[in-house]
Amino acid sequence: MNEQIKPPEKAKIDAGSLASQLVNISEVHLNVSQEVIITTEDKIRICLSEHLKRMEKKRGWIAPLGIIATIAVTLVTSTFKDIGLDAPTWRAIFIIAGIISFGWLVWSIKDAWKSVKLEDIVGEFKKGAQIKATK
């Protein structure tokens, strides 16, 4: 009566046999050819450090656009007061700041358009001797 009840042993499932029982595979297509780039760590570091700042230029237009939006909202909604400077002087300062920010935005968009792309960096890694695989 004092028998210990043993838990059932965990069943081991062979995934391959289970899959073959569940799925009938009629044909297999292989498409696993890859290009392999073999290089050294120092070349990767040099290449990435040279291109990192140029890749960051893709997002350089965000700051000037935000400043222009802020200045535009300020010019449309504000009535400038004579605080330290005359009201027309304050308005002129905001207009000049908007013009400068617009120039910065145009410059940043031009830089973003010409910035380095990921494909350019991969192409840089691929430079050098190429060995074609034989089949």
Domain ranges in the chain are: 38-126
CA 14, CA 11: separation in Å to the nearest integer?
A: 10
Q: pLDDT grade, residue 1 (50/70/90)? A: low
Residue found under tokens 């043993």: 6
- Report how far residue 117's alpha carbon sits from residue 123's, in angstroms, rounded to the nearest whole number: 10
Confidence at residue 25, expressed as pLDDT on a 0 to 100 scale: 67
Tell me, what's the pLDDT at 66? Answer: 94
* Dihedral sign from CA coordinates of 48, 53, 57, 62: positive
The whole-model pTM stands at 0.55
Which tens digits make up the pLDDT trace of 70-118? 999 998 988 888 888 888 999 999 999 999 999 999 999 998 888 777 8
Please give the Cα distance from 40 to 116 (Å, whole number): 22
SS3 52: helix
